[in-house]
Amino acid sequence: TMAHSKSLLVLENFIGGKFVPCSSYIDSYNPSTGDVYCRVPDSGKEEVEVAVKAAKDAFPVWSSKSPLERSQILNKLADLIEHDLEAFAQAESKDQGKAITFARTVDIPRAVYNFRFFASSILHHVTECTEMATMGCVHYTSRAPVGVAGLISPWNLPLYLLTWKIAPAIACGNTVVAKPSEMTSVTAWMMCKLLEKAGIPPGVVNVVFGTGTKAGEALVCHPDVPLISFTGSTLTAQRIMEKSAPHCKRLSLELGGKNPAIIFDDADLSQCIPTTVRSSFANQGEICLCTSRIFVQRGIYDEFLKRFVAEAKKWKTGNPSDPTVDVGALISKEHLEKVRSYVKKAQAEGARVLCGEGVDSLALPPGNQKGYFMLPTVIAAVEDESCCMQEEIFGPVTCVVAFDTEEEVIRRANGVKYGLAATVWSGNVGRVHRVAHRLQSGLVWTNCWLVRDLNLPFGGMKASGIGREGAKDSYEFFTEVKTITIKH
Ligand code: NAD
């Protein structure tokens, strides 16, 4: 209705330093109320074409700036986002459904830090040099930015994951065309408003909003975009590989997970239980690194379950803008239904749902009755072969099962198609070292979770991805290396 559309937030693409309207738009929902509150450009080939052209035009000047100049600009952008941290956090919470406290303490501070981190790390890379004295030769490597980078990000940690790509891409001297998730585009649009003030020249960062199949695929198929950095689902990654194959594009793929927690009988449960509740349910379980299979050694299984369920029940689910809320709304109605269907399947297979969905009742404030909420749900007595133990659910659902030996648990933990992250809990340093070594997982946290040093590689094995991101890894991905030989 007209009255309704007047109050809607309407986003515009950001191309060549200017906001430009689009001919058609997609409705975007507030997950905590179920209302349409925003309209997102439904860009396609045409818009992507203009954005890639702008990025291509901006490349010669941006790529020839010194790392120090680019570093200063990135730091300025970090300061500007930080200055508006509260507005960004509110917007992220409203758009994604996540708890405001999480957006304030995790999403936006990390987006700021992504720019600061790469502003610094770009100053410290060195290239290699070797000498062949008998031949009278020296060899050295030089690294140069690649060109226009296509960046595609998901809805779970919108600004956090988008800036984790934009920052290294432009720090290295590339220009970019970014396509955030159509479900969470607001904070990327807000960031665009700060680029000019930060000193980022027009065309260096272009943001095209829209769906994956239209805008995303146009970017993937564009011949002038030689590299694509993608974070999202394994299924979409397969499609991106297919579509980019004719161009032999360079791809970085950060995909899904089915992350195990392995808890030995000598673990410090007072640390392990609250951390594993957090690793299962943080951001509504919508983090690629979230734990969804908990293997507990038989001797402590009953005690663990009892204490784990009690701790999970302490998590408060409700209006995301309430600072005391831990679990906000899931991203969409469709996603909520999908997550719920896993719980139903588990029950049909004879598993026990110990708390949450279908067991406890959820009291929501009047304004949130139509929101996409679900309580943290713990499932026990589920078979390893069950879809709940094999497929990524990406919601507030975690499965707890018992194991007997180290050998057995390593085999079972590795028995999925994914290999992103794992946690191991034990007081025995020899054991954590042995187990960590044998897990098929790009990241292993022992006696902790989600403690990240951005210097080190991040990424998954098997169906969880190809490539790594981090100080050195992102630098290598976003630059082309050349070996030069000089003979006297
Ligand atoms: P998704 O794959 O549906 O979408 C991700 C992005 O790709 C969106 O911007 C989407 O519009 C776009 N897209 C969709 N189809 C496309 C196509 N054919 N061509 C080009 N682009 C296309 O994923 P999602 O549902 O937004 O995010 C959840 C998934 O992301 C989960 O599987 C999660 O594990 C994964 N994820 C991984 C990491 C990681 O670092 N490994 C981090 C966060 C999320």
Question: Could you say which residues of the chain have pLDDT below 50?
Answer: 1-3
What local confidence, expressed as pLDDT, does residue 7 receive? 84
Ligand 1 centroid to residue 363 C-alpha, Å: 31
Ligand 1 centroid to residue 328 C-alpha, Å: 20
Ligand 1 centroid to residue 240 C-alpha, Å: 11
Confirm whether 254 is a catalytic residue.
Answer: yes
What local confidence, expressed as pLDDT, does residue 4 receive? 54
Alpha carbon of residue 78 to chain centroid: 19
Between strands 377-380 and 397-403, the pairing is parallel
Q: Is the CB of 332 under 6 A from ligand 1?
A: no
Residue labelled with tokens 């950001």: 14
d(CA 219, CA 49): 8
What local confidence, expressed as pLDDT, does residue 6 receive? 61
Which ligand 1 atom sits closest to the C-alpha of 420?
41
Q: Is the CB of 465 under 6 A from ligand 1?
A: yes
Write the CB contacts of 400 (distance below 8 Å, at least 6 apart in sequence): 294, 296, 304, 305, 308, 378, 379, 380
Q: Atom 34, ligand 1: which residue's CA is nearest?
A: 256
Beta-bridge partner residues of 352:
380
DSSP assignment letter at 216: I
Q: Beta-strand (E) ranges in 167-280?
A: 175-179, 205-207, 227-231, 250-254, 259-263
Q: Atom 13, ligand 1: which residue's CA is nearest?
A: 212
Q: Is the CB of 141 under 6 A from ligand 1?
A: no
Q: Is the CB of 217 under 6 A from ligand 1?
A: yes
Of 450, 43, 425, nearest to 279 by C-alpha is 450
Ligand 1 centroid to residue 153 C-alpha, Å: 6
336 near 394, Cβ under 8 Å? no
Q: Is the CB of 257 under 6 A from ligand 1?
A: yes
Q: Is the CB of 15 under 6 A from ligand 1?
A: no
Instruction: To the nearest 10°, report the CA torsion of 374, 89, 165, 335.
Output: 20
Which ligand 1 atom sits closest to the C-alpha of 219?
20
Residue 19 phi/psi, 5-degree rounding, is: -80, 130
Active-site position among 92, 182, 217, 254: 254
| Tokens, residue 332 | 């969409």
Residue 437 half-sphere exposure, CB side, CA atoms within 13 Å?
A: 8
b/e per residue, 243-274, with b = 16+ CB within 10 A? bbeeeebbbbbbbbbbbbbbbbbebebeebbe
Q: Pick from 152, 184, 187, 235 the residue to mutate for probing ligand 1's pocket: most ligand atoms within 8 Å of its CB.
A: 152
| Per-residue CA distances from 30 to 182, 332, 369, 475 (Å) | 13, 9, 12, 36
Q: Is the CB of 240 under 6 A from ligand 1?
A: yes
Q: Is the CB of 272 under 6 A from ligand 1?
A: no
Q: Pick from 214, 219, 231 the residue to mutate for probing ligand 1's pocket: most ligand atoms within 8 Å of its CB.
A: 231
What local confidence, expressed as pLDDT, does residue 3 receive? 47
d(CA 212, CA 251): 16
